[in-house]
Amino acid sequence: MNKNHIFIIGPSGVGKTTVGELVAKKLNYKFVDLDVEISNRLKKSISEYFLKNGESQFRIIEREVLLELAAIEDQSVIVTGAGSVLNALNIDTMKSSGTIVFLNAQIKDIVSRVRNDGNNNHRPLLNGDLESNVTKQFKERLGVYEIAQDISIGTSNRDIEAVSNAIIRQFERFSGEKSDIGSKIVVGEYLASDIAEIVSRYSSTFIITQENIPLRVSLYNTLKENDIIFHEIIVPDGEEAKSFNTYESVLNKMAELKANRSSCILALGGGVVGDLAGFVGSTFMRGIDVVQMPTTLLAQVDSSIGGKCGINISAGKNMVGTITQPKVTFSDIAYIQTLQENDYISGLGEVAKYALLGNLTVKELIEENHQQILARDVSILIPLIKSCMNHKVHIVSRDPFERNGMRATLNLGHTLAHVLEKITDFKFDHGQAVAVGIRFICELSLDLDLISKEQRNEYISILDILGLGLTVPAQAKEIGALKMVDYMYSDKKSDGLLNLVLFLPGGGVELTQDVDKNIVIEALDRFIV
């Protein structure tokens, strides 16, 4: 199906047709009016058909015609009838074949526009007392429009030109970024206004964050300029934030501040904040929307995508949580500039992972621009981060709940990394532990004749040029290979087996569970000296 149509929804009289025609003209798209198409098909006006056959019969025809229009090849602006969203299947059809734009207006403006229109033959449901019928219908349908929309545009106090320009701006920003997992990704620099636009749709915004994030102040200024109601909730630094105590105190604070189901959470921070805030969002009042704004490199390329969120308990890290996709993830590159060097390098561990998973764009960007990457050059960071995020979305959309082994391949290097984090009491940063874990997988894959020496060297050079030539922590040697491998078997994702993502001879990786334990011990013994 064509995934790039623009569907315009909204109440009668809001100006869908006039605006839709102008948007189509500006974008050089085909313009189609669903009601006109239905009328042509029926060879009579919609009012006449309604009178004779009733609404339910009309909705059946409306569904058939919508399906046909959604399948047309030409990119189109498709204006729908005010009631087309009443059938949830229509919303699904629109979502899967384009972007849904909700044209909204104040009731008084809608009433006056409908009245001035003079010709309400095609609006049979508004016959009678116009003002009260328009008001009643708008109130009844508002909730459905809000659920259906990808983009909401206000039309009161704006002329057609301004409305059509606002639609095009938003559509261009979001349509290309729409992911298959139902959430959107925006990558850029200084995205505060875009964030304000998204959170303005909620009654209030709860920003879960940490003291260490300097640029948050400028975001707050933009939110204030846009009259956004927001509350800041500061959580501790480090894994302590992912505890039951912090989780409970955040929930209580939100309840105290009267958060409700139309509030949203803005997770403003690294992976720790994202994991905690995502879990709060997925459980507060049985779930409210979460917008992720990852501020570390690791969170931008990895943890903010895919919906995994949660907290730690004494039995293990990330043992309690959910998989709930955020509404939007905004990766603002400006935040990368204020990161401590070790946190930046830690993120590069995950970036290197994508190159080694077979992402040629990431590999080429690293090989050709590693100096600029290390210097945090924005012009390289934007395509690099975008490509990593898209890679993760692509994998997660095919295995959102980690059931068929596809998502598990993202754990390249992670089985050993988790053990290294555990034995160093999480002093060894996650991304750096992943880089060491990947080095080990290179050695093991070579031992198993899965890759050649040249391939091993090529993979390791990707880590080297990014400054990930890390040494194994001393604790590993103290504990010894035998015990370390036992720990690897008890990884929470292992089910008593040894999960290893290994390189494949022709390139790419595969999740395996049947490597001989002794071969792993032997390889690790050599690796940790």
Ligand X SMILES: NC(=O)c1ccc[n+]([C@@H]2O[C@H](COP(=O)([O-])OP(=O)(O)OC[C@H]3O[C@@H](n4cnc5c(N)ncnc54)[C@H](O)[C@@H]3O)[C@@H](O)[C@H]2O)c1
CB of 401 to ligand X, least distance (A): 13
Q: Which residue is nearest to ligand X (CB)?
A: 271
146 catalytic per annotation:
no
In terms of phi and psi (left: phi > 0; alpha: psi -120 to 50; beta: otherwise), the region of 310 is left
CB of 336 to ligand X, least distance (A): 7
37 is a site residue for ligand X (CB under 6 A): no
Q: Which of 407, 421, 456, 499 is catalytic?
A: 407
Contact residue for ligand X among 24, 85, 110, 213 (CB under 6 A): 213
Residues 6+ apart with CB under 8 A from 128: none
477 catalytic per annotation:
no
Dmax of the chain from CA atoms? Answer: 86
Name the CA radius of gyration of the chain, rounded.
27
430 catalytic per annotation:
yes
Q: Which of 131, 189, 239, 402 is catalytic?
A: 402
239 catalytic per annotation:
no
CB of 225 to ligand X, least distance (A): 21
Question: What b/e readout covers 61-75, taking b as 16+ CB neighbours within 10 angstroms?
Answer: bbeebbeebbeeeeb
Residue 152 one-letter amino acid: S
Within residues 268-327, the interface with ligand X by CB under 6 A covers 269-273, 275, 295-296, 298-299, 302-303, 306, 308-309, 318
Contact residue for ligand X among 96, 338, 404, 457 (CB under 6 A): 338
Question: What b/e readout covers 430-455, taking b as 16+ CB neighbours within 10 angstroms?
Answer: bbbbbbbbbbbbbebbbbbebbeeeb
Of residues 293 and 355, the one with the C-beta less far from ligand X: 293
Contact residue for ligand X among 335, 354, 459, 503 (CB under 6 A): 335
90 catalytic per annotation:
no
Of residues 263 and 296, the one with the C-beta less far from ligand X: 296
SS3 of 321, please?
strand
Reference 502, options 520, 484, 526; nearest CA is 520
418 catalytic per annotation:
yes
253 catalytic per annotation:
no
402 catalytic per annotation:
yes
Contact residue for ligand X among 37, 62, 194, 343 (CB under 6 A): 343
Question: Of all helices (H) and strands (E), which one includes residue 234?
Answer: strand 230-234
308 catalytic per annotation:
yes
386 catalytic per annotation:
no
CB of 218 to ligand X, least distance (A): 12
Question: Rounded to whole angstroms, what are the CA distances from 164 to 101, 150, 201?
Answer: 11, 16, 19
Tokens 């070579």 sit on residue: 446
Question: Interface mask (CB under 6 A) for ligand X, residues 344-363, using x and -?
Answer: --x-----------------
Q: Which of 28, 119, 256, 286 is catalytic?
A: 286
Residues 6+ apart with CB under 8 A from 440: 413, 416, 523, 524, 527
212 is a site residue for ligand X (CB under 6 A): yes
223 is a site residue for ligand X (CB under 6 A): no
Tokens 């990593």 sit on residue: 388
If one counts every other C-beta atom within 10 angstroms of the C-beta of residue 31, the result is 18
Q: Which of 37, 62, 350, 421 is catalytic?
A: 350
What residues make contact with ligand X under the rule CB under 6 A? Answer: 210, 212-213, 237-239, 242, 269-273, 275, 295-296, 298-299, 302-303, 306, 308-309, 318, 335, 338-339, 343, 346, 430
